[in-house]
Amino acid sequence: MKLRVGVLQLDIAIGDKQRNCRNIEDWMASFYVPSELPTAVVVPEMWNTGYALSRAKELADPEGAEAAAFLGELARKYGVWFVGGSVLASTKKGYANRAQVINPDGKLVAQYDKAHLIRLMEEEKYFTGGRKTCLFDLEGVKAGCVICYDIRFCEWIRTYALKGTEVLFVSAQWPSARADHWRTLLRARAIENQMYVVACNRCGVSEETHFGGGSMILGPKGEIYFEGGAGEEAAFAAIDLDEVAKTRNFLTVFEDRVPEIYSVK
């Protein structure tokens, strides 16, 4: 089974939904090339508003419906999946950093509220953290979605792997000051869980924070299919899901686990 996965590594205009939507439209119109392979496209974390958290009451999208409708139109137009690309959503429980999965018919088929809230961005002051994994079927492939800071929590990503995830999609706003952590953690998550990792980071500057780009597409042995630079760019790669089974059958990490000794009191 083969898929094509892609990242739209974009800058984000703080609080300007129209400009951010237009940027995605322009990049898809300019750089998307049709393929016979099913294609999934990932966009950055908080792509619709950026971290304009102090303006959440004004900017939050009720249940993320507006963003899902916008991506749904693009998904139908180009016949692709959109995965990740979280938005500032208002919910019955409060505000959420919410990733969305849109299929080629334009339907919202899964969503994920970021579980690990990063204090450096004051997320804990505004967001209610999610408590559930985001697993979905992508053209017969077991896929999952997480957001940015989540990749620092190996237990959380291992939970996805234990539930059968073969491709993990990551959307992020990761600062360039910790770019080496981003790269190392992504490769580690791919290697230790023997799965593909498709990670899209934003680029550009917000106030005094520089965001490093460096989006990556990684194989189940940690091999690098694509690594982005520091500016806006789009990239696509074909991946063979049979490699996941081959890797897991060769080095039987999951069969060799000893979970009864891992608990911490």
Q: Which of 17, 21, 114, 203 is catalytic?
A: 114
3-class DSSP assignment, residue 177? helix
Whether 166 is catalytic is no
Q: Provide long-range contacts, Cβ within 8 A and 24+ apart, for 257-264.
A: none
Smallest CA-to-CA distance from 71 within 39, 97, 104 is with 104
Marked catalytic residue, from 21, 134, 148, 203: 148
Catalytic residue, candidates 45, 123, 134, 166: 45
SS3 content of the chain, % helix, strand, coil (to 5): 35, 35, 35
Q: Which helix (H) or strand (E) holds 193?
A: helix 179-193
Is 163 in the active site? Answer: no
Rg (CA), the chain: 17
Catalytic site includes residue 148:
yes
H/E run at residue 43: strand 39-43
Any idea which residues carry the catalytic annotation? 45, 114, 148
